[in-house]
C-alpha cells in the first residue's frame, strides 16, 4: 500500500502531469467527498486491483448537475482535508478535486449524456434530471482520468447500472467494478447523509436495512420450502395420514410444502419489506416511503409477480426528517429450486 500522502490535484493540467509508468494500471474511484469507510473500501479495492506498481486516483467533486435544488447542493458536506487523510490511509496515490469552473469552464454544458428510460425509473422519477447530470460528470471524469477500471459501490445500484450501460453503449473501453455495500454494525448503509440524522431519526432509518433483510429471509425460507416440495413426493397424502394420527402441526407443515409454488416469490419479498416499512411509518419519528421495488438489475424494470428465477435488486428510498436515504440488496430468485 502507498504510504506517502496522496497528491492533491486541482486542475486538469496537474492531472495530466501526474503521468504513470508504462504498462501500469490506473484505477479511479469517483466521489463527491465527505469520505467514509464505504469510500475507503472502494479505494482499497482499487488499490488491490491496480497493484503495487499501479496508480489509484480518487476524484472529489460535488457535481451541481446532480442536484435538483440549490439548498441540497449548498447543504452537501465539504471536508477536503479529511478526505485527503481517508484517501491516503486507504492507499490512493492522488486526489483530483477540481472546482466547478475547472470541470465546466464555459458554465453548464450544452451537450450532456442522457440516461434514457432507465434514468426515468425509481431514483430518476424522484429526482428528474439527476442521472443525466451524474452520467455527464462521470463521462467527463473518465475522459480526464483515463483509467483502466473505475470502482463504484453497490449501494447506488441504479447509478452503477447506468454507468455500466453508458460505458457499454458508448464504447468507453473501461472496466466498471462493483464493490458490495458497506454497513455500520447496526445495519445502516454508510452514506455521507447519515451525519444529518439525529439519534431518533437514525433509529427510524434502521427500518430500511431491516426491511431488506426481512425480505431476503422471507425469500430464503420460501425457496427452501420450494426445494422440499420438489424432492418429497406425495405430500398431500402424507399430510392426510398425519392428520388422522393427530399430528396437526406436522400435517400443516407438510401441506404447506405440497402447495408451495415458486411464482409467489416476488410478492412475498415485497410484502415482507413493506411490513417493516409500514411499521416505521407509524413511529414517533416517522419514515416517509418514496418507493420499495423489486427490479431487474440490468434495466431497473420491475420484476413481474410470476418471475421464478434470475437476479433481482430490492431497492428502497425513504425520508426520515429532512434526510433522504436509499438502500438495496441483491437477490437471486429460484436459487434453491
Catalytically annotated residues: 39
Sign of the dihedral through C-alpha 211, 212, 213, 218:
positive
Q: What DSSP letter does each residue of 36-51 carry, written as one string? A: -HHHHHHHHHHHHHH-
Place of cell 433509529: 203
Q: What is the largest CA-CA distance in the chain?
A: 83
| Burial of residue 12, with CB atoms counted within 10 A of its CB: 0-12 exposed, 13-18 middle, 19 or more buried | middle
Angle of CA points 50, 178, 310, to nearest 5°: 140
Element (H, E) at 316: strand 310-320
Q: Which of 219, 240, 216 is nearest to 328 (CA)?
A: 216
**Phi and psi torsions of 77, nearest 5°:** -70, 140
Residues 185 and 159 sit within 8 Å (Cβ to Cβ): no
Residues 6+ apart with CB under 8 A from 9: 15, 18, 94, 95, 96, 97, 98
Amino acid at each position: 500500500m502507498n504510504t506517502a500522502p496522496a497528491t492533491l490535484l486541482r486542475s486538469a493540467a496537474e492531472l495530466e502531469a501526474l503521468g504513470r509508468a508504462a504498462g501500469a494500471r490506473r484505477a479511479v474511484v469517483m466521489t463527491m467527498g465527505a469520505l467514509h469507510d464505504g469510500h475507503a473500501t472502494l479505494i482499497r479495492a482499487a488499490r488491490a486491483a491496480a497493484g503495487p506498481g499501479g496508480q489509484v486516483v480518487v476524484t472529489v467533486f460535488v457535481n451541481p448537475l446532480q442536484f435538483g435544488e440549490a439548498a441540497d447542493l449548498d447543504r452537501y458536506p465539504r471536508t477536503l482535508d479529511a478526505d485527503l487523510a481517508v484517501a491516503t490511509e486507504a492507499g490512493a496515490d492522488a486526489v483530483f478535486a477540481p472546482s466547478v469552473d475547472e470541470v465546466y469552464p464555459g458554465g453548464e454544458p450544452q451537450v450532456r449524456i442522457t440516461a434514457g428510460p432507465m434514468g426515468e425509473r425509481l431514483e430518476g422519477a424522484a429526482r428528474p434530471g439527476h442521472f443525466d447530470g451524474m452520467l455527464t460528470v462521470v463521462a467527463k471524469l473518465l475522459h480526464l482520468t483515463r483509467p483502466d477500471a473505475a470502482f463504484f459501490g453497490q449501494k447506488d445500484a441504479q447509478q452503477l447500472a447506468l454507468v455500466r450501460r453508458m460505458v457499454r453503449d458508448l464504447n468507453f473501453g473501461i472496466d466498471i467494478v462493483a464493490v458490495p455495500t458497506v454497513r455500520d454494525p447496526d445495519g445502516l448503509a454508510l452514506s455521507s447523509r447519515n451525519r444529518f440524522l439525529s439519534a431518533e431519526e437514525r433509529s427510524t432509518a434502521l427500518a430500511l436495512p431491516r426491511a431488506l433483510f426481512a425480505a431476503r429471509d422471507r425469500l430464503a425460507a420460501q425457496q427452501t420450502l420450494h426445494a422440499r416440495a420438489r424432492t418429497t413426493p406425495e405430500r398431500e397424502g402424507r399430510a392426510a395420514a398425519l392428520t388422522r394420527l393427530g399430528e396437526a402441526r406436522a400435517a400443516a407443515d407438510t401441506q404447506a410444502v405440497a402447495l408451495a409454488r415458486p411464482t409467489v416469490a416476488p410478492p412475498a419479498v415485497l410484502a415482507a419489506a413493506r411490513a417493516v416499512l409500514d411499521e416505521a411509518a407509524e413511529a414517533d419519528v416517522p419514515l416517509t416511503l418514496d418507493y420499495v421495488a423489486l427490479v431487474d438489475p440490468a434495466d431497473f424494470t420491475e420484476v413481474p409477480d410470476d418471475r421464478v428465477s434470475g437476479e433481482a435488486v430490492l431497492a428502497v428510498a425513504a425520508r426520515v426528517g429532512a434526510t433522504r436515504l436509499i438502500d438495496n440488496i441483491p437477490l437471486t430468485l429460484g436459487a434453491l429450486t
